[in-house]
């Protein structure tokens, strides 16, 4: 198992380019199941999760080929409609194949994604939405068995709200299924995340008729077939935000290139409240130089356009060394505070109770041996270790490789002392 050894205390300098969005890439790849022709997705990040999604597609008869940052896909047979447990368990977004498979092939079996360390993550909304389109859904032996009625799915009015509000992948799944349904579908309480918009825009480039993506009401007029397309994945707003926090925590100056600051407004607002010097320049963000310590913040995670849960752990690492007491409220995954226990090993003062973390900033963190528990918590630990005094070892870094491409090499290039070691 690999770990990172980080000697903290060095400031950052230079620039980093943001890769394509993981959370857009995964559902986008799944849409290739719907197309009658070949698809090319560019600006694809080289990530473990993307590889897993490609493996799932391969088992479903999709031929794929990487060329640089492009992935070319083509459906070569439609006989195997089962997305297996051994792949879907590695990555929840494997469930994104459910809607496209059902719509295109009329029948499919997709493994239930299983447990997740960031808290309970049901898929009831996905299933409810597909049932509303006329599908019969049953769960047997750990698999979702979904079947479209004779003549295919039928458009419907669907309310897709859950206890925590909208669901990103449920919206993508139901929207991707409805594109081939007979008649018109309306999704109410649709997720508004930029990744949903990217999937809708890509489907429209294939010939779908989707309007309203990016708002809580999406309308889809069913079409008979979709063609292949060329699609460029949007920049990863979570990766860009992670780099902003890293630069704020370490000091120095960093230019973050090829990002979409307009997708990051709630996050950037919190950064400014914390006193982070961050300036928008077109598709770049320039962070620093920082004058003095950053300040505490009060933040609440909520669906887009509010502050994203996927930036919460990284921001907690910054709050841990900011002046004053921050209150972080997690409304999407109330148990998503795994980073807190490890940050405390590094000297952070954090109390977690009832979906809230109260973080009292300390002057500096100390290097320590810590363990990554999930993707974004690992990013928080990398930030904390880079800013800390002394050396940290972060184990189980396979989590970070799921969502950040060659992070060690990229952070080395901006001055962070980070080494990958095999234990």
Return residues touching ligand UD1 (CB under 6 A): 23, 26, 92-93, 121-126, 162-164, 167-170, 191, 195, 308-310, 332-333
Burial of 363 (0-12, 13-18, 19+ CB in 10 A): exposed
Question: One of 96, 108, 116, 229 is an active-site residue; which one?
Answer: 116
Smallest distance from the beta carbon of 60 to ligand UD1, in angstroms?
18
Nearer CB in complex with ligand UD1: 164/327:
164
Q: Report long-range pairs for 293-296 (Cβ below 8 Å, ≥24 apart).
A: 293/321, 293/322, 293/323, 293/361, 294/248, 294/249, 294/318, 294/321, 294/322, 294/323, 295/322, 295/323, 295/324, 296/322, 296/323, 296/324, 296/325, 296/326, 296/359, 296/361
- Quick check: is 108 catalytic? no
- Cβ distance to ligand UD1 smaller for residue 148 or 332: 332
Q: Give min distance, CB of 126 to ligand UD1, in A.
A: 5
Provide, rounded to whole angstroms, the least separation between the CB of residue 199 and ligand UD1: 10
Structure tokens at 111: 């493994």
What whole-number distance in Å separates Cα of residue 387 and Cα of residue 372?
Answer: 17
Which residue number, 331 or 389, has a Cβ lying nearer to ligand UD1? 331
**Residues whose CB is less than 8 angstroms from the CB of residue 322 and which lie 6 or more positions away in sequence, other chains included:** 274, 293, 294, 295, 296, 297, 361
321 vs 383, beta carbon nearer ligand UD1: 383
> How far is residue 370's CA from residue 385's CA, in Å, rounded to a whole number?
9
Min dist. Cβ of residue 40 to ligand UD1 (A):
21
Least Cβ distance, residue 56 to ligand UD1 (angstroms): 13
- Residue whose CB is less far from ligand UD1, 310 or 405: 310
Could you tell me which of 251, 291, 284 has the C-alpha nearest to residue 268?
Answer: 284
Task: Give catalytic residue positions.
Answer: 116
């Amino acid at each position: 198992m690999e770990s990172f050894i980080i000697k903290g205390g060095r400031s950052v300098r230079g620039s980093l380019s943001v890769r394509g969005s993981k959370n857009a890439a995964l559902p986008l790849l799944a849409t290739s199941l719907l197309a009658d022709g070949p698809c090319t997705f560019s600006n694809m990040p080289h990530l473990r999760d993307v590889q897993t999604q490609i493996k799932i597609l391969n088992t479903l008869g999709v031929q794929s080929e990487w060329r640089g940052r492009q992935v070319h896909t083509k459906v070569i047979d439609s006989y195997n409609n089962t997305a297996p447990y051994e792949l879907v368990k590695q990555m929840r977004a494997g469930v994104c194949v459910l809607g496209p498979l059902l719509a295109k092939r009329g029948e499919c079996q997709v493994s239930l994604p299983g447990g997740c360390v960031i808290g309970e993550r049901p898929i009831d909304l996905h299933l409810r939405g597909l049932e509303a389109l006329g599908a019969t859904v049953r769960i047997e032996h750990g698999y979702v068995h979904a079947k479209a009625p004779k003549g295919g799915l039928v458009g419907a009015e669907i309310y897709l709200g859950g206890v925590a509000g909208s669901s990103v992948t449920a919206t993508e799944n139901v929207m991707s299924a409805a594109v081939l349904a007979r008649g018109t579908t309306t999704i109410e309480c649709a997720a508004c995340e930029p990744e949903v918009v990217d999937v809708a825009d890509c489907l429209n480039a294939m010939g779908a008729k989707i309007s309203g993506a990016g708002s809580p009401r999406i309308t889809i007029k069913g079409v008979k077939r979709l063609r292949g397309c060329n699609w460029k994945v949007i920049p990863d707003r979570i990766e860009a935000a992670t780099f902003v926090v890293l630069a704020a925590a370490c000091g120095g100056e960093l230019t973050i290139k090829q990002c979409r600051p307009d997708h990051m407004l709630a996050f950037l607002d919190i950064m400014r409240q914390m006193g982070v010097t961050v300036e928008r320049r077109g598709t770049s963000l320039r962070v620093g130089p920082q004058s003095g310590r950053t300040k505490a913040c009060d933040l609440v995670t909520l669906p887009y356009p509010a502050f994203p849960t996927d930036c919460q752990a990284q921001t907690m690492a910054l709050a841990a060394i900011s002046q004053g007491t921050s209150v972080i409220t997690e409304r999407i995954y109330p148990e998503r505070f795994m980073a807190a226990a490890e940050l405390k090993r590094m000297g952070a003062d954090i109390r977690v109770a009832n979906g809230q973390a109260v973080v009292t900033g300390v002057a500096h963190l100390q290097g320590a041996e810590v363990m990554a528990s999930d993707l974004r918590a690992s990013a928080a630990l990398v930030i904390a270790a880079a800013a800390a005094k002394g050396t940290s070892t972060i184990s189980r870094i396979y989590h970070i490789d799921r969502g950040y491409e060659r992070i060690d090499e990229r952070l080395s290039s901006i001055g962070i002392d980070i080494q990958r070691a095999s234990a």
